[in-house]
A and B are shown apart, each in its own frame.
Chain A
Amino acid sequence: MVGEGNVSARTLSEKVWDAHVVRPGTEPGEPDLLYVDLHLVHEVTSPQAFDGLRVAGRRVRRPDLTIATEDHNTPTDSLTTISEPVSRTQIEALRRNCAEFGIRSHPLGDAEQGIVHVLGPQIGLTQPGMTIVCGDSHTATHGAFGSLAFGIGTSEVEHVLATQTLPQARPKTMAVTVDGELGPDVTAKDLVLSLISQVGTGAGIGHVVEYRGPAIQALSMEGRMTIANMSIEWGAKAGMIAPDDTAFSYVEGRQYAPTGKDWEAALDYWRSLPTDAGATFDAEVRIDAPSLRPFVTWGTNPGQGVSLDGVVPDPSNFGDVGSRTAAERALAYMALEPGTRMYDVPVDVVFLGSCTNGRLEDLRAAADVLRGRRVAQSVRMLVVPGSAAVRLQAEAEGLHKVFEDAGAEWRFAGCSMCLGMNPDTLEPGQRSASTSNRNFEGRQGRGGRTHLVSPPVAAATAVAGHFAAPADLN
């Protein structure tokens, strides 16, 4: 907590950082050189990095700490055919690069293909206390395991491929303590959307944040991943949660989990990671879990949100000119009038998926709402599992039948409509309820209007045809 503390007491992020310093910065302002335990690669941010290696005559230093998948461009209606030629070119470039540089890859059609941040945890490659990077800002997801995980740009991707390290300036630390318990109808997604609306989209800039408190500890790993995933949406460098028995049980037995003596040694290290009593943070935020409600965004950044039973705000009530102008622009883009009840806003499309909410528990939660009900005639609902493995598991539980019987589309795995790089996009003017992480202008398609919600709210909204929570359905 902020205040006096023991100098040798360290936070979770400081411990993981210190354990990975290959060479500390010595000149003023010189960053530390950090070792990267795991480099996740996908097709969008890697082609120019591999070209850079090729031009410089360099190889990949640690192909054995690198893994690739195809997710952003992949179609969700086929496992074999990529009809869009530019997408196909990019995916083929990744395949050639992986083959040339000896990198393990999980291409479209492979049993482990899927969104890169669903893949790592599902095969047990994501573990506590690691450094994990990827050319994708939602790399923050892996922080749910108590790893230091963050997104990097293509130049840094090239740097990691060539050296397995990254020069990094030590960030500040922030604690987000969530007191109490979440109500039964409030999910991790509602929690993180509420947090961002309270602190603002820039509050985390320059900080690694640690989510703490009973409400966080009560979350499953998938719930923790939802929270960590959206750390980037309020500007945080990374978002971490202390590993505990929930995390250890999740990792145990997965393909890349350590076993035998290695498992015991890993547990010793993992158990040493939680923040020490008396360690101090540079900043602190407190959230009251019992006061939280199901949430929905109304604007064009993840911080412009309101509780589901609320109304579209009036920009003239906003304190500063900057926020007021931004809200006016957002409402104009989103075609919303101040004072409108969110319950009265109809939607055209519902998207259930993404690295934020595309895992098995998310699909189960939505299926629980859709079972025995129908998607409204006016709504198109797409269900896109986060990975081929999640899809298989969901089918083993019969969830796909629930979705199909309700009139939703059961698709293949990928990033899909989160960012509309594949053919799953909104038409101009269409309004969506989406379980993804960004509602920026045009994010899901030119002129598309995105509202971020949790899986249960997405499902209830699909049935009602306008924003709704499960409790509102009869």
Chain B
Amino acid sequence: MDKVTVHTGTALPLRRSDVDTDQIIPAVYLKRITKTGFDDGLFRAWRDNDPNFPLEKPEFTGASILIAGRQFGTGSSREHAVWALRDWGMRAVIAPSFGDIFRGNALKEGLVPVTLPPDAVETLWSIVEATPSTKVTVDVTTREVRVDAQSWPFPLDDFARTRLLEGLDDIALTLRVDGVIADFEAARASFLPVVR
């Protein structure tokens, strides 16, 4: 995973709550066996059916920070939702709350999930809608979102922060304690099932 320290970019305001992962990436795209190229499927149904949907509006071209309503990424565990956002160019998602699985998947891929209170999200929406070229900064080192002179802290536990800052590979980290895993395995109860 690439390191993420401080990201500054323009933002895309998505005034919707309860955005489930079926909307972020419909099931038909899940048939693919690659890990990239999902930008065509991002918010596909809304892009096709809603003329006011902001994703492809020229003023939001190049936006790399998505600002959405509460409960972003609920529903299916499809990590493809994160891949689609990342393939589109997103580097962070700001929302009042996230589906747990989506949040975990995002952290795995270096897409920073930023939890801010609803009124902060409302303020950001207003700023970005008024001036789409506004630069928004997501700072993982200081755990802050900054726009012009304003800043808001966001929660990020020490461990997740270190992983992002150092671009750590979870599997390599875990395999460092391979011996501890083996000891645990040796002590597992014999009544536990084993696939034949």
Contact = CB atoms under 8 A, between A and B. Distances in A.
B6 interface: no
Contacts of B18: 201-202, 301, 326
Interface in A56-84: 56, 58, 63-67, 72-73
Contacts of B181: 22, 33, 35, 163-165
B77 A152 contact: yes
Interface residues of B, number: 63
A237 B157 CA distance: 18
A169 interface: yes
B191 to A, nearest CB: 4
B167 interface: no
A45 B20 contact: no
B171 A27 contact: no
B189 interface: yes
Interface string B68-111: 01110011111110100000000000000111110011001100
Given A27-B159, A137-B75, A155 B105 contact: yes
Contacts of B31: 44, 73, 86-87, 89-90, 421
A411 interface: no
B59 to A, nearest CB: 23
A206 interface: yes
A442 B19 CA distance: 13
Interface string B149-187: 000000001111110000000110111011011001100
Given A30-B159, A269-B191, A440-B22, A162 B71 contact: no
Given A35-B181, A90-B31, A45 B78 contact: yes
A37 B70 CA distance: 34
Interface string A246-267: 0000000000111000110110
A47 B196 contact: no
Interface in A1-59: 22-23, 25, 27-31, 33, 35, 37-38, 44-45, 47-48, 51, 56, 58
Contact of B159 (A25, A301, A440): A25
A130 B195 contact: no
A205 interface: yes
B99 to A, nearest CB: 6
Nearest to B15: A325
Nearest to B30: A44
A441 B193 contact: no
A87 B158 CA distance: 41
B194 interface: yes
A430 to B, nearest CB: 15
A108 B190 CA distance: 32
Of B69, B79, B80, B180, most buried by chain A (CB within 10 Å of CB) is B79
A441 B45 contact: yes
A23 B180 contact: yes
Contact of B171 (A86, A163, A420): A163
A233 B74 CA distance: 8
B27 A89 contact: no
What size tier do the contact residues of chain A reach?
A: 35 or more
A223 to B, nearest CB: 23
Contacts of A151: 77, 101
Nearest to B20: A440
B191 A265 contact: yes
B195 A262 contact: no
A263 B26 contact: no
Contacts of A169: 157
B180 A420 contact: no
A58 B70 CA distance: 39
Interface string B19-42: 010110011101111110000000
Given A51-B35, A155-B109, A162-B171, A28 B157 contact: yes
Nearest to A168: B104
A153 interface: yes
A380 interface: no
Given A38-B193, A158-B171, A31 B159 contact: yes
B22 A438 contact: yes
Interface in A406-438: 419-421, 438
A387 interface: no
Contact of B193 (A33, A152, A256, A447): A256
Nearest to B180: A23
Interface string A300-313: 01000000000000
A154 B79 contact: yes
Contacts of A124: 193
B17 interface: yes
A208 to B, nearest CB: 11
Interface string A396-412: 00000000000000000
Contact of B189 (A44, A73, A125, A265): A265
A58 B171 contact: yes
B175 to A, nearest CB: 6
B130 interface: no
A30 B161 CA distance: 10
B180 A443 contact: no
Given A86-B32, A262-B191, A442 B157 contact: no
Nearest to B35: A48
B97 A205 contact: yes
Given A31-B159, A421-B30, A421-B31, A326 B194 contact: no
30 contacts: A27-B162, A29-B159, A29-B160, A33-B174, A35-B185, A38-B193, A45-B78, A48-B35, A56-B171, A67-B195, A93-B33, A130-B192, A135-B77, A151-B77, A151-B101, A153-B108, A162-B175, A167-B173, A202-B18, A202-B97, A205-B97, A206-B100, A235-B74, A322-B70, A329-B16, A419-B22, A438-B22, A440-B23, A441-B22, A442-B26
Interface of A: 22-23, 25, 27-31, 33, 35, 37-38, 44-45, 47-48, 51, 56, 58, 63-67, 72-73, 86-87, 89-90, 93, 104, 124-125, 127, 130, 135-137, 150-156, 158-159, 162-165, 167, 169, 201-202, 205-206, 232-233, 235, 237, 256-258, 262-263, 265-266, 269, 301, 322, 325-326, 329, 419-421, 438, 440-443, 446-447
